[in-house]
Amino acid sequence: MIKTIEVDKLTKKFGSFTAVDNISFSVSSGEILGLLGANGAGKTTTIKMLCGLLAPTSGKIKVAGYNAYLQAEQIRTRIGYMSQKFSLYNDLTVWENIHFFGGVYGLWGKQLKLRAEALIDDFEMRPFMNLTVQSLPPGWRQRIALAVSLVHNPPIILLDEPTSGVDPIARRMFWETIHQISANGTTALVTTHYIDEAEYCNNVLVMVDGKLVAAGQPNELKSLYNSTTMDDVFLSLARNENTKI
């Protein structure tokens, strides 16, 4: 398997606070990696460093074979990013948002139009493609954000809590979409604090207070921690960490 994301001894400090503490992991192409953790565990900081929005304090990052400091622009054309905070233009329509971001990624003319049409159909957005994003419910907005992050057919997608604030049915649909995308060879790194969503991932990483405390397939972790659900795994890990302090 080709490693599409390689992270080695990554650390990020904000003043005296260590948000991400010496973590190392790798993701293979076509893999769905779940990054699990409570709020403030360092998930978002990690993902922001991966897509070049934050400069790491120390450590190495390689995305799609490129060094994150020296070749940030090459990485940017190869990743799709969905922010934890909804960050499409609320006053633009669904179509305009897709069209705009497609254009920013370098698509143009007929090619851009075809790609936008394809996404509209894939995500079943045709009925409301001419409505402004702000008039749509949150679940739909997240779907549009996912569609936008895929507009340039990136080999890697980084999704930061894509399902937060989304109802259970929509969450399920969301994960089905992620599976479809990954079946085509796209690598997906997804952060979440819904622990049950770990079951949808090939591999999971558990972060507690900036540290990586567990890594492996969901089933492996469950047997390792003698639990029936990932929830129990996570709780025992998080408690364990707390008692250490």
Partner 1 sequence: MKKIFILLQKEFIQIFRNKTILPIIFVLPVVQLLILANAATQEMKNIKLAIVDYDCSPESRGLIEKFTFSKFYAIIPVERSTKKAIKLIDMGYADAALIIPNSFGAMANRSESIKLQLLTNAINITSAALINRYTSSIVLDYATNATVEFGKPTISQASIRHWYNPTLDYKLYMVPGILVILVTIVGMFLTAINIVREKELGTIEQINVTPIKPYQFIIGKLIPFWVIALAELMFGLVIARVVFNLNITGSIPLLFGFAAIYLIAALGLGLILSTSASNQQQVMFMAFFFMTVFLMLSGLFTPTESMPSWANWFNKINPLFYFMNVNRMLILKGSDFSNLWPNFLAISIIATVVIIIAIKRYKKTS
Say whether 216 sits in a helix, a strand or coil: strand
Write down the least CB distance from residue 86 to partner 1, Å: 7
Give dist(CA 123, CA 54) in Å, integer.
30
Q: Site for partner 1 (CB under 8 A): which residue of 24, 58, 90, 223?
A: 90
73 makes contact with partner 1 (CB under 8 A): yes
Among 32, 63, 79, 190, binds partner 1 (CB under 8 A): 79
Region of residue 194 (phi > 0: left; psi between -120 and 50: alpha; otherwise: beta): beta
Strand locations in 45-151, DSSP E? 58-63, 66-67, 79-82
Cβ 207 to partner 1 shortest distance, Å: 21
Would strands 187-192 and 203-208 be described as parallel, antiparallel, or unpaired? unpaired
**Residue 85, token pair as written in the block:** 């905070």
Beta bridge partners of residue 6, listed in sequence order:
26, 62
Out of 8, 9, 24, 55, the only residue in the binding site for partner 1 (CB under 8 A) is 55
Which tokens belong to 239? 């408690």
The CB-of-52 to partner 1 minimum distance in angstroms stands at: 6
- Cα 107 from Cα 104, distance rounded (Å): 7
Gap between the Cα atoms of 174 and 229, Å rounded: 21
Between residues 108 and 183, which has the closer beta carbon with respect to partner 1? 108
63 touching partner 1, by CB under 8 A: no
Structure tokens at 49: 């460093």
Question: Which of 23, 34, 81, 125 contacts partner 1 by CB under 8 A?
Answer: 81
Residue placing its CB nearer to partner 1 in the complex, 22 or 93: 93
Nearer to partner 1, 135 or 219 (CB): 135
Instruction: In angstroms, give the least distance from the CB of 163 to partner 1.
Output: 18
**Contact flag: residue 194 with partner 1 (CB under 8 A):** no
Q: Around 142, how many Cα atoms within 13 Å sit in the side-chain half-sphere?
A: 21
Give, as ranges, the residues between 101 and 160 that touch partner 1 (CB under 8 A): 101, 103-106, 108, 148
Total residues contacting partner 1 by CB under 8 A comes to 29
Residues that bind partner 1 (CB under 8 A): 51-55, 72-73, 76-77, 79, 81, 83, 85-92, 96, 100-101, 103-106, 108, 148
